[in-house]
């Protein structure tokens, strides 16, 4: 008869051993619609760079500043209609997106500038001590 050592975590490994893989697959599926951002700060401004591939016109994105957060939202349209095709994998995101990004400093949104090029949205906001709420227009290239 073989000696079996007691392992209190054996049940966890047996029942949840694939948990990390399952979580990664779920995250990959659901994080596609999440806008990825970089936030950096200089002496005079806060710069937010966001990956939003698929925008075709400036009306597709809405940018506002409120309560020291940059709010990005919009919609990415599917460029072609898919009919009578077998789709084997679909990872590209189409549809509504939204993201609120906390800003590291108070900003003056009246001088804010946004530009979009090659799927990258860059928003530049001057630092300030006052708080306002204003729509920011995108220079679409």
> CB under 8 Å to 103, separation ≥6 — which residues?
39, 46, 48, 65, 68, 69, 70, 125
Encoded tokens for 82: 């898919």
CA distance 130 to 113: 18
Q: For each of the domains in the chain, give its residue range(s) and CATH number, in order of start.
A: 37-78+93-141 (2.60.40.790)
pLDDT for 38: 96
pLDDT at 20: 53
**pTM summary value:** 0.66
Q: What are phi and psi of 114, to 5 degrees?
A: -130, 140
Which residues have C-beta within 8 Å of that of residue 119, sequence separation ≥ 6?
A: 51, 52, 53, 54, 55
Rounded to an integer, the average pLDDT of 102-131 is 89
pLDDT bracket for residue 59 (50, 70, 90): very high
| CA nearest neighbour of 95 among 31, 33, 26 | 33
Residue 32's pLDDT is: 43
Look over the chain and give the mean of its residue pLDDT values, rounded to a whole number.
Answer: 79
Average pLDDT over residues 44-60: 93
pLDDT mean over 89-99: 81
Decide: helix, strand or coil at residue 46. strand
């Amino acid at each position: 008869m073989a000696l079996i050592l007691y392992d209190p975590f054996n049940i966890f490994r047996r029942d949840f051993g694939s948990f990390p893989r399952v979580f990664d697959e779920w995250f990959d599926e659901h994080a596609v619609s999440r806008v990825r951002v970089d936030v950096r700060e200089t002496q005079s401004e806060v710069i937010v760079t966001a990956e939003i591939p698929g925008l075709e016109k400036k009306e597709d994105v809405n940018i506002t500043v409120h309560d020291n957060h940059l709010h990005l939202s919009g919609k990415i349209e599917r460029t072609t209609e898919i009919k009578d095709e077998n789709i084997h994998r679909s990872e590209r995101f189409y549809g509504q997106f939204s993201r609120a990004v906390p800003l590291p400093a108070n900003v003056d949104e009246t001088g804010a500038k946004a530009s979009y090029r090659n799927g990258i949205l860059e928003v530049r906001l001057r630092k300030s001590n006052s708080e306002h709420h204003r729509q920011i227009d995108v220079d679409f290239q």
